[in-house]
Structure 1
Amino acid sequence: MNMMHYKGYEAVVNFDEDAETFHGEVVNLRDVITFQGNSVDELKTALEESVEDYLTFCRERGEEPERPYSGQFVVRAEPRLHRELVSAARRAGVSLNKLVTSVLERAVTE
């Protein structure tokens, strides 16, 4: 998994081998910002344009755009738990980060 940054927004980038396209998603927001490109330059431009579109959209609606935290913190787990989490994420077709984030989200909303 590769990361990109723009104006404090952090994005995860994956490569779709079949489509030969990079897909990205800003991960440190509740709102959804996605982008794609066929090269690194296209991907960088697409991220910048998507974030700018989001900021413009918020401005036009008179809403304050969500400002990201760094979105990173270290969690230490026993190797067995780490392995089980990775397996569960793969079975669910999501990244380890998305799996852990969804579990943490449920824990704070219950």
Structure 2
Amino acid sequence: MMQNTMTYKGYHGSVEISPEDNILFGQVLFISPLINYEAETAKGLEQAFQEAINAYLADCAQQDIQPEKPCKGSLNVRLGHDLHLAASIAAFQASTSTNEFIKRAVQKSVGL
């Protein structure tokens, strides 16, 4: 069974199919640089993904810049007024911050 993502050196890449072009393709997820790859086989796509990550890391090293890491650990979430207020009230009643309350809810939802 083919999954829709791959992981290499802490980076995640999508796996997509283009039947009209008869290729597999994807892009590195959760970072701002646009990094694409493609191949004709699943094994080839995995290799192309790994080569793309290695090339990105080599380019960063050559330019003496820090490679971007997937998901920096903070994000802005638009909850809407009612949900924001309900979460704030629930957090207050649980004697915790709204941020910690939302973090715990996400952890529970993703099984961490």
TM norm. shorter chain > 0.5: yes
- Counting only pairs closer than 5 Å after superposition, residues 1-110 of structure 1 correspond to structure 2 as 2-69=4-71
**Would you identify which runs of 4 or more consecutive aligned residues in structure 1 move more than 6 Å?**
none
Structure 1 residues 70 and 7: alpha-carbon distance in aligned structure 2, compared to 1, 3 A threshold: farther
CA shift at 1:13, angstroms? 1.3
Q: How many residues align?
A: 71
CA shift at 1:67, angstroms? 1.2
Structure 2-normalised TM-score? Answer: 0.59
- State how far apart, in whole Å, the 2-side matches of 1:34 and 1:14 are: 11
Counting aligned pairs with the same residue, the percent is 28
Unmatched 5+ stretches in structure 2:
74-112
Unmatched 5+ stretches in structure 1:
72-110
